Amino acid sequence: MAIWKNEILNSNKLNDLFMLNFMKEFDWRTTLEFISNRTTFTKKQCSSIDTKERSYRIKNLLKDLPTYETLCKRDVDVLENSTCIRCDKNEEETWDHVWICNDNEATLDEILRESISKFEEYLDKNRRSEDVTILRNHNINIVTILEERSNILIGKSRIWEMLRGVFNDRFNHLTKVKEELAIIKECWNFIYNEYKNRIWLIRYEEVARLEKLKGIQKHDLRKEKRKNQDIREEDAKEENIENKKTNKKDKKKQKKEFDKKINIVTRERLIGAVTDGINIENNWALTPKLINFSIDTH
């Protein structure tokens, strides 16, 4: 849980998805069920809640995967800068860059199309011939929806919505048959995982390999982070003592603390909704607004 608090603490990255949400573009219920990894699309995964997978999904939603941009923002001094070390484009390794980096083995469009046939093979292998038929009836529509321009993420295809883990409502309108929608969702989940396996996980290993060559060890990154935290805590302590000297300052501080508390309550709400899946709809309707007003107090 602590991880989420930190991640969401520094994040206003959901705002882009909520900006035009009045259009009911996304199916937030399905999205949150998927991200919380609670009621999963496939029966296989129902048995245990995979925390690691949930962590990945939440970080993706918030665009908070540990890219070089994210690490630099956290003051990891070991990194010289946030430039991508996999390609020669001299671009900052942002969350967006990871998915379109030259070093990726395939483009987003290629992976999408290959994933559809892979999913069919997978169904076939598991002797799910009826499901294969369902998939064949819908595969073109699935690809079309994903390749079209997103109405929310301007200048990007809907593949980018999927990369965040956000389920577009259009998929729900492809069929009225429950069993068919289940296959569509399973297919969606399969493609999502393909992006993870073929881009993020490969990137993760490759960056680790390159860092090793450069002599950056993972525990260095963590150590640096901890050191910085200690320094900040010390600063905070000193600040506290300073503040006690004058009443005026004290009141200001109290107000800040109060604002902070509101912030934390808001985040707990969001975290709770995502991780526990309790009252998802109710919470979700309130959360974005609260985030918007509380985000500035930092």
The residues that touch Zn ion, with contacts defined as CB under 5 A, are 84, 86-87, 101
All residues at 6 or more sequence positions from 173 whose CB lies less than 8 Å from its CB, including other chains: none
Q: Give the span between the Cα atoms of 167 and 26, in whole angstroms.
A: 6
Q: Closest CB to Zn ion among 49 and 87?
A: 87
Chain center to CA of 178: 28
Tokens of 24: 């009911």
Residue 96 or 169: which CB sits closer to Zn ion? 96
Between residues 140 and 201, which has the closer beta carbon with respect to Zn ion?
Answer: 201
Give the residue with the Cβ less far from Zn ion, 98 or 132. 98
Find the shortest distance in angstroms from Cβ 87 to Zn ion: 3
Q: Which is nearer to Zn ion, 101 or 295 (CB)?
A: 101
Give the nearest distance from C-beta 92 to Zn ion in angstroms: 9
Distance CA 135, CA 2 (A): 40
Of 157, 183, 176, nearest to 168 (Cα)?
157
Please report how close the Cβ of residue 266 comes to Zn ion at its closest, in angstroms.
35
Please measure the distance between the N-terminal and C-terminal CA atoms of the chain and give it in whole angstroms. 21
**CB neighbour list of residue 170: distance below 8 Å, 6 or more residues apart:** 145
Note the maximum CA span of the chain.
Answer: 76
* Nearest distance from C-beta of residue 60 to Zn ion, angstroms: 18
Cβ 225 to Zn ion, closest distance in Å?
23
What is the three-class DSSP state of 64? Answer: coil
Q: DSSP labels for 111-152? A: HHHHHHHHHHHHHHHTT-HHHHHHHHHHHHHHHHHHHSBPSS
Q: How far is the CB of 221 from Zn ion (least distance, A)?
A: 19
What does the alpha-carbon distance between residue 92 and residue 100 come to, in Å, rounded to a whole number? 12
Nearer Cβ to Zn ion (23/201):
201
In the bound complex, what is the minimum distance in angstroms from residue 106's beta carbon to Zn ion?
A: 14
CB nearer Zn ion, residue 78 or residue 87? 87
Burial string for 60-93 (b: 16+ CB within 10 Å, else e) reads: bbbbbbebbbbbbeeebebbeebbbbbeeeeeeb
| Cα-to-chain-centroid distance, residue 288 | 16
